[in-house]
Amino acid sequence: MASLTDISTARIEISDVVGGGFNTELTNDEIKEYIAMAHDVVEEELTGQGMDDNRLARVEMYLARHGIRFLAERQVNSETGGPTSRSYSGAFGFEQLRATAPGQQALMLDKSGSLGRETFDEFFALG
């Protein structure tokens, strides 16, 4: 049986996902699930498309961050002090990878355009 937290073949580590000011309340095992998912996507969609390992690692990192922001910890678009009011990006209106800043970064780094395909994007719009 496959382990959903096995990141032994991933290009990135937990410290890459949570580095650079990206904050999350997820546990390391929960972060590993998003890394494993991002790695699978990169392997299936982007490997062999003319991008070097550094670029693919960055895409993995941004896809993992996108998953966290889009699924586990919705990215706040706006916030009001009191009484508290928040609005969240990516209201599951098929905004796909464009719904979060990390998703937009992944799209920008994908020279092949594979991540921007509508059928692929729908995968990230399902919750």
How does pLDDT run across 4-39, given as a tens digit for each residue? 889 999 999 999 999 999 999 999 999 999 999 999
> Which ranges of 46-116 does DSSP label H, i.e. alpha helix?
53-67, 101-109
What pTM value is reported for the model? Answer: 0.78
Of residues 127 and 50, which shows the higher confidence score?
Answer: 50
pLDDT at 45 over 50: yes
Task: Give CA–CA dist 68/33, Å, rounded.
Answer: 10
One-letter identity of residue 39? H
Asked if 51 and 106 count as a contact pair (C-beta separation under 8 A), the reply is: no
Of 24-38, 81-95, 106-120, the least confident: 81-95
The pLDDT of residue 93: 46
The pLDDT of residue 91: 45
**Percent of the chain, pLDDT > 90?**
58
Task: Give CA–CA dist 55/83, Å, rounded.
Answer: 43
